[in-house]
Structure 1
C-alpha cells in the first residue's frame, strides 16, 4: 500500500513470489496441463512522469465479465495470481511485471484467453513456456526441469573464471565470516553486483542458499575475505553449472517440511540462522536461510524459532494450494532434529534449559567435503546434460564433466 507523502511518486510493477512461480510450474506438471507464456507489449510508459499520478486500477487489471478471473489477493496469498473456475478445473494466470504464465486443462481454453487478452493489451504469444524470468523450462512425459545454466555461464564468464579450479562445496569448510575479517575491499560495487546476481540465482539453486545468505550480510562494507569467499562460490558453480530442479508428473501433492537452525551462527550479532525446505510430494518448492531477528539463549530456542518460521511458510503454501483446488491432508509431516524443541511443541510449558556445546569443526571438515554431493539429491537437484554446441565454442559448458561426477555421487541425473 502506498502512503501519501512517502511513496506516492513511486511506481510499482506486479511481481509474483518465487515460491508461487515454482508451485505454478509444479502443479501444471502434476496436472499434465499445457503451460504457455505471453508477453505484454508496451508495458512501460515512455519517459518519466513528474506530475501527480492518479492512482486507480488500470483497465483490464480486473478482467471484466466474460473471462472473470478472481485475484488471489482477496485471501491475502499472492496479488499476482489469478483464477477462473471451470466445471472441470480452472484457468490460472501468473503475472510477473509484463510476463504472464497460463495453464488450463486444454489448449483451446488457453487460446481463448490469449485472444481475449490481446484485445485488451496487445500481447506477444510466446507459445509453450520455455524461458521465463531467466528460467530454462523443459517438459517431458516424466516431468518439468527448470535450470539457470545460461545465467550461471554468464556469471562465470563475467568473473573471468572459465578455467577456474573446481571446488566441491559452495564455501570453504569451516569458514566463519564476520564484518571485520580482513581489510576493506577497494571496489565494493563489484561485490554488491555479484552477490545480487547470486541472490537471483537462488531461484533454482537451494544448494547455495546458505552461502549467499552469509555473503549478502556484508553488502555495505565488504572485505577482501568476503570477495575471496564469493569467488569460491563461483568456482563451485563452475563445477556444477547444469544443476536444477525437477518437478515430476507423478506427484502425491502432499506437503512435508524440514527445518533446522544454526545456533549463534552470526559472529557479529550472535543471532542464529533459520533454515527450512518444503516439498510438494517429491518436488522442492520453497526453501530459505535467514538470520533470526533476536538472540536465542539455547539451541532449543533457536530450533523452536526455526520451527515457527517454517510453520508460517507451510500454512501460506497450504492456502495457495487450496486456491488451486488441491486438498491438503492433515497433519502435514514436519521434520526437526532437536528433541527439546519437539518436546516444547508437544508440551508448551516453561523450560529453562540451555545447552552450551564446544563443537569441534576440525574433525568434520573432510566429512563435509565428501558428504555435500550426497545432499544435492535430497534437495531435488539434478544435472542436465547440455548440448555440446549449445553454449558456443570455448564455453565452460563444453568441458565440465564434473557435473556428471557430482550427479552420479548424489544418485541423481
Structure 2
C-alpha cells in the first residue's frame, strides 16, 4: 500500500508554478511596463542578452565568433605584435577572451564585443614591468560632475575609445602565444588589455593629447581634465577607456569631440549606460541605478525567488571574535562581498552592512554568510533602487558627520560615517571603522569630523579647479555638542591632547571661515545609516533624505 512507501514518495514530487504565481516572484518587486519607450527598450535589452562564459561557448552563440574576428583584425591593423622566435629564458603571457555588449545612444544593442585579454596576473613586478597606473576617476568625481550637470542643465556625453590600450606604446618586452602547436610567438609592440603596464601607457598617450588641446589636469583628481575658454567650461573625466564630456561650452564640447576623433577612434554612447550603471535623464533630474547588476546577482546566487526583508541588517546583530562555526566556502563569501562592494556605488543604504562583512573577509563564519544572504533578500525588495539627482539650482556644500562609539564588540573601535551633498545632491559617503579605540564619544565624533572636513576640502578644491566659486560656508552637521565645542574652542586640555592633530585640522578650517559646524539632532542625522544598523522607520527616513528612489518599482 502507499502507507509502506517512504514519506518523500508518499508526498510526491513538488513542482514550481509559473513565476507570476510565486508568492515572492521577482516580478512583484521590479517592473518596466510603466517606463517610457526608450527606457523600456534599454531595460529589456539588458535583461534578454546573455554573455558567453568560455571561448568554446562563444563559438556556438550567433554573433560572438564574428566579434572575435573583428578583435583579431583590429589587433593586426594596429601592428600590435610581430612574429618572432621565443628568445631563451623568456616566458609567454597567456590570454583569454572577455565578452561584453555595447549599446547605441537610443538604447538599442550596437554590437557584440569580444576582447583578447592578457593574463597580467602572471607577470612579476620589477622583472616583467615596472611602473603601473590605472587612470580611473574617483566615483565621487563622477557623481560631482553629474550633480553639476543636473543643476546647471549641462549636456552630458560618454565617449568610448575603441581599443584604447592599443594606442599606448609598450616599452617593456613581452611575448604572447599564437595558437596551440605554433612554433613562433607574438612579440608585443602595443599595450594590450590585461597587462599591468597597459593603463599607464594608454593614460600617458591620452594625457599628452588632451593637454595639447588646451586642457589642464586637476590636482585633486588626476583623471579629471578641465578647459576654460572665454568664461566657458569643458570637463573631461577619464574612467579607463570611457570618457565623460560635459560643461557649459556647447561649441567647445563639439570641438573637443572632433579633436578626439582625429586622434582616436571614438564613439558617442550618449548618457544612458556607464560602467555598469544605468542612467535615466528627464526634465525632473537624473537617476543612477544598478538594476541589471542586482538582478544578475540575485540570479547567480539563486535568490530570485527568496522572501524579501525591509532592512539589510538586523539592528540587534553584533559580531564577536568567534561567534559560531566557520563558513565552509571562503571563496564564495569573498566573491559575494566583492560584488556587493561594487553595488555600493549607487547604494549607500547597504554601505554599513557591506563594510561590516568586509572585516571578516579572511575567516568568515556562518553568521557572516547569513547576513550576506539577508542583504540579498533586502536587494530583492527593490532591485531598481538608486540615487536621484534633482536640479536644485545652487552650489552649496553640506555634510553630515557621525560616529558610532565603541560599536564593534570584537575590538570596541568606533565607526565613522559621513555623507556630503553638492547642490543638494549626494556625491560622496563613507562608512569605515576607525583605526584606534576612542576613549569617549566626543573623541570618536571628532575623528569623524576630521574625515568629513577632509572630504569637504577636497570637493571644494576640485570645484575651484573647475573655476566654480564656492561662496558660502561649507556646513558640517554633527549631533555631538562636545565635538562641536572642541572645534571652536582654542584651549587644549587633557581630554583633547591625544587628538591634537585632528583638532588642529578641523579648527583651522573653522577659523578660516571655510567650514561651520551647526548642530543637528540625532533624529535628523542622515549619516546614522552609515554607522549602525537602523530599525525600519529611521532607515527609510535616511534613505529618503539621501534622495534614494526606485524608478522600477511596480505601480
TM-score tier after normalising by the smaller chain length: 0.7 to 0.9
Q: Which range is displaced more, 365-374 or 341-350?
A: 365-374
SS of residue matched to 2:539:
helix
| Corresponding residue of 1:392 | none
Larger mean CA deviation between 332-341 and 98-107 belongs to 98-107
Deviations 1:309-355 (A, max 9, x none): 100011000111112222213421111111111111121422539xx
Residue of structure 2 aligned with 1:93, choices 231, 236, 251: 236
**What are the Cα deviations for residues 271-321 of structure 1, in whole angstroms up to 9, with x where unaligned?**
111000111132011110011111111111100100111000110001111
Cα distance per residue 1:234-259 (max 9 Å; x no partner): 10011111211111123311011101
Aligned to 2:541: 374
CA offsets 1:157-211 (integer angstroms, 9 cap, x no match): 1111111111111101210123422211111111111111111111111111111
* Cα deviation, residue 106, structure 1: 5.1
Change (3 A) 1:7 1:209: farther
Asked whether the 8 Å contact 2:232–2:249 carries over to 1, the reply is no
Are residues 149 and 5 of structure 1, via their aligned partners in 2, closer, same or farther at CA, if it must alter by over 3 Å? same
CA separation in 1, counterparts of 2:208 and 2:383? 41
How far apart, in 2, do the equivalents of 1:256 and 1:130 lie? 28
In the aligned structure 1, how far is the partner of 2:409 from the partner of 2:467? 45
In the aligned structure 2, how far is the partner of 1:179 from the partner of 1:190? 21
Paired residues, number: 369
| Residue-by-residue CA offset, 1:31-76 (whole Å, 9 max, x unaligned) | 2111001111112359x98638798773342236762110113xxx
Alignment partner, residue 67 of structure 1: 213
Q: Matches of 2:127 and 2:363 in 1, distance apart?
A: 28
Q: Which runs of 5+ in 2 are unaligned?
A: 1-124, 175-196, 497-531
Q: Would the aligned equivalents of 1:84 and 1:92 in 2 still touch at CA under 8 Å?
A: yes
Give the alignment partner of residue 261 of structure 2, picking from 115, 118, 122. Answer: 118
CA contact (8 A) 1:147 1:243 kept: yes
Match of 2:173 among 51, 58, 79: 51
Q: 1:65 to 1:293 in 2, by over 3 A?
A: closer
2:147 and 2:423 in contact (8 A); partners too: no
Structure 1 residue 17 and structure 2 residue 147: aligned? no
- Look up the match of 1:209: 351
Counterpart mapping for 1:326-341 below 5 A: 326-341=468-483
Q: Residue in 1 aligned with 2:422?
A: 280
1:65 and 1:347, CA in 2 relative to 1: closer, same or farther beyond 3 A? closer
Q: Compare CA radii of gyration and give the structure with the larger one.
A: 2
SS at match of 2:137: coil
Q: How far 1:9 moved relative to its partner?
A: 3.1
SS in 2 for 1:329: coil
Equivalent residue for 1:35, pick from 156, 159, 167: 156
Show the counterpart of 2:116.
Answer: none
Which segments of 5 or more consecutive residues in structure 1 lack a partner in the other structure? 354-364, 387-400, 405-413
Alpha-carbon spacing, 1:337–1:351, altered in 2? closer, same or farther (3 Å): farther
Instruction: Give yes or no for contact 2:236–2:244 (8 Å, CA) kept in 1.
Output: yes
TM-score when scaled to structure 2?
0.62
For 1:59 and 1:215, the matched residues in 2 are separated by 40
1:203-352 equivalences in 2 (<5 Å): 203-348=345-490, 349-350=492-493, 352=495
Distance 1:292 1:51 in 2: 44
Q: Against the structure 1 CA distance between its residues 64 and 161, is the aligned structure 2 distance closer, same or farther, given a 3 Å change threshold? A: closer
Q: Are the counterparts in 1 of residues 218 and 224 from structure 2 also a CA contact under 8 Å?
A: yes
Residue 14 of structure 1 contacts residue 80 of structure 1 at CA under 8 Å; is this kept in 2? yes
Contact 1:82 1:94 in 2 (8 A): yes
1:361-401, Cα deviation, whole Å (9 max, x unpaired): xxxx9981333222211111112036xxxxxxxxxxxxxx5
Contact 2:426–2:547 (8 Å) recurs in 1:
yes
Q: Give the drift of 1:91.
A: 0.8
Cα distance in 2 for residues equivalent to 1:328 and 1:292: 30
Deviation, structure 1 residue 12: 2.9
Secondary structure in 2 matching 1:286? strand
1:182 match: secondary structure: coil
Contact 1:262 1:272 in 2 (8 A): yes
Are the structure 2 counterparts of residues 64 and 145 from structure 1 closer, same or farther at C-alpha, using a change threshold of 3 Å? closer
Residues 32 and 212 (structure 1 numbering): CA distance in 2 closer, same or farther, change over 3 Å? same
User: 2:501 aligns to what?
Assistant: none
Contact 2:403–2:415 (CA under 8 A) maintained in structure 1 = yes
Q: How far apart, in 2, do the equivalents of 1:284 and 1:226 lie?
A: 29
Match of 1:26? 147
Q: 1:398-409 to 2 correspondence within 5 Å? A: 401=554
- CA RMSD, aligned part only? 2.6
